[in-house]
Amino acid sequence: MPLAENIMSLVGRSLIRVDDFSPEEIQHVLDIAETMHGALAERQTLLAGRILATAFFEPSTRTRLSFESAMQRLGGGVIGFADARTSSAAKGETIADMARIIESYADVIVMRHPVEGSSKVAADYARKPVINAGDGGHQHPSQTLTDLFTVQRSRGSIDGVHIGLCGDLRFGRTVHSLLAALRHYDIKVTCIAPPSLQLPERYHPPGLPLAMTDTVEAVLPELDVLYVTRIQRERFPDASEYEAVKGSYVIDAAMLDRSKPELLVMHPLPRVDEIAYNVDPDRRATYFGQAAYGVPVRMALLALLLGALPSDDVPAPASDPAPIDHAPRCPNPDCANRLEGYTEPQMLVLDATHRRCLYCEMELTI
Ligand code: NCD
C-alpha cells in the first residue's frame, strides 16, 4: 500500500507523546488498524521472530495485555515484567541502564512508569522503538490512538464532534494525550471537572478553544462523546485532597435520558464509581468496545514501528527543529529530568524567557 502524502516512515520511531506523530501519520495508523481489525481471526506472521518487551512499573490490565495480544496475533513473541519489585529497578537500576539492557533482548519496548518523561529517557538511551504506555500523569499516546479509532469507527468521522472530557483532567494522562490529538480535528471540546481537577495550563492544546464547566448535566444534551475518567487517586500528593473530590461525579442511566441517542460514552477504564453499572446495557456505553479496539490499534502500531508493512522505506523526519537549551534542570518534582540525575535537561526554547521541558512539558519562565 503506498504511503499517503506527508507520511514519513514510522519504522524505528518511538511514540512517547502524541505529537511525535503528524496528523497524517496518526490517520495512517488508524487506517492500518482498520485492516487489522478485519483480519483479527486470521493467523498472521507479519512479526514472526520479533520480540516485544513490556516493562510495567505500574498496574495495568488493558494496555499490557492488549499489547501482548497484538504482538502474538502478529506471530511475534513477548517478554517482560508487570511488577517493578521483580525487576532490577528494585535494586536501584536507572531507567537508562534498564533500557540499554532490554534493547538487547527485544525489538520494541512498551513501558509504563510513574515518573513523567520516563519513557523519553528510555527512548533516548535505547536504539529500539519505545512506546510510552503511561508516564505518570503526563501522556498515554497508544490509548489516544485507540480512542480516536473508537470515535472514527462508531461515528464514521472525528470531525464535527462535540466531546466532553469529564473527570480527573489534572492527573489523567489519557486526557492529556487525547487533547494533543484532538487539536488536529474540527471539533468542540468541553472540559467537565471540579475546579481542583481541571486541566493544567501545560495541557491546553494550542489553537483549540476549550469550554470549561464543573457539572455534566448542562452540557450533556449537546455532546456526541462523553469521555469519562477515574480520579487518579495514586497521583494526589495528599490523601485529604483526594477525599475532598472522590465520588464528585457519577454518570448513571437516568442522566442519559437527557443525552443524544447516538452519544458515545467512553472511558479508558478501569472505572471506580464514575459510571454506574446501570449504564452498561445502554447502547451508548462504548467503553468495553473501546478497550477491545486496543488490540487492532496496537497491532497496527507494532507492525508499522517494526517495519513489517510494505513501502515503509521513506526516511524518518528530522526531530524537533526548534532550538533546545540544555539548562536549567526541570523544576517539576515528578519529572524524569529531576529524578534521574544523569539525564541532560532538554528545554525547548519558546521565546527569550520561556522554555518547555521535553520530558514532562512543564513550561517555565527563566
Ligand atoms: C488508564 C491509564 O493507565 O492511564 N488506563 C488505561 O491504560 N486504559 C486510565 C486509568 O488508569 O485511569
Residue of 17, 64, 138, 140 marked catalytic: 140
Give nearest CA residue, ligand 1 atom 12: 230
Contacts of residue 300, defined as CB under 8 A and 6 or more positions apart, other chains included, come to 29, 30, 32, 33, 35, 36
What pLDDT shows up at residue 87? Answer: 83
Judge if the upstream peptide bond of residue 328 is cis by omega within 30 degrees of 0.
yes
What pLDDT shows up at residue 153? Answer: 97
Contact 297, 63 (CB under 8 A): no
Give nearest CA residue, ligand 1 atom 6: 268
The predicted model gives 333-339 an average pLDDT of 97
Percentage of the chain lying above the pLDDT 70 cut: 95
The region that residue 79 occupies, defined by phi over 0 for left and psi between -120 and 50 for alpha, beta otherwise, is beta
pLDDT for 218-267, tens place per residue? 999 999 999 999 999 999 989 999 999 999 899 999 999 999 999 999 99
Q: Is the per-residue pLDDT at 88 higher than 80?
A: yes
pLDDT for 20-53, tens place per residue? 999 999 999 999 999 999 999 898 999 999 999 9
Question: Taking the CA atoms of the chain, what radius of gyration do you get in angstroms?
Answer: 20
The predicted model gives 309-328 an average pLDDT of 71
Q: Is 144 designated active site?
A: no
Q: Is 91 designated active site?
A: yes
3 state SS of 121: helix
Distance 176 CA to ligand 1 centre (A): 12
Q: Is the per-residue pLDDT at 313 higher than 70?
A: no
Q: Is 140 designated active site?
A: yes
What is the C-alpha separation between 274 and 20, in angstroms, rounded? 31
User: Judging by beta carbons within 10 Å of its beta carbon (0-12, 13-18, 19+), is residue 315 exposed, middle or buried?
Assistant: exposed
Ligand 1 pocket check: which of 143, 168, 231, 246 to mutate, most ligand atoms within 8 Å of Cβ?
143
Q: Is the per-residue pLDDT at 2 higher than 60?
A: no
Length of the chain: 366
pLDDT for 178-200, tens place per residue? 999 999 999 999 999 999 999 99
Distance 62 CA to ligand 1 centre (A): 8
Q: What are phi and psi of 212, to 5 degrees?
A: -125, 140
pLDDT band at 360 (very low <50, low <70, confident <90, very high): very high
What is the C-alpha separation between 335 and 359, in angstroms, rounded? 7
pLDDT band at 358 (very low <50, low <70, confident <90, very high): very high
Binding pocket residue ranges, ligand 1, CB within 6 Å:
62-63, 134, 140, 143, 173-174, 229-230, 268-269
Strands of 179-257 (E only): list them: 188-192, 210-213, 225-228
The predicted model gives 307-336 an average pLDDT of 80
pLDDT for 90-136, tens place per residue? 788 999 999 999 999 999 999 999 999 999 999 999 999 999 999 99
Distance 329 CA to ligand 1 centre (A): 29
3 state SS of 42: coil
Ligand 1 atom closest to Cα of 58? 3
Q: Is 63 designated active site?
A: yes
Distance 352 CA to ligand 1 centre (A): 37
Residue of 91, 326, 353, 365 marked catalytic: 91
Contacts of residue 67, defined as CB under 8 A and 6 or more positions apart, other chains included, come to 52, 54, 110, 131, 133, 142, 298, 302
The predicted model gives 264-285 an average pLDDT of 98
Contacts of residue 317, defined as CB under 8 A and 6 or more positions apart, other chains included, come to 8
DSSP category for residue 46: T
Ligand 1 atom closest to Cα of 269? 8
Q: What are phi and psi of 122, to 5 degrees?
A: -60, -45
pTM for this structure?
0.95
On average, the pLDDT of the chain sits at 94
What is the C-alpha separation between 73 and 303, in angstroms, rounded? 11
Give nearest CA residue, ligand 1 atom 11: 270
Give nearest CA residue, ligand 1 atom 8: 268
Distance 177 CA to ligand 1 centre (A): 12
Half-sphere exposure of 202 (CA within 13 A, CB side): 19
Ligand 1 atom closest to Cα of 112? 3
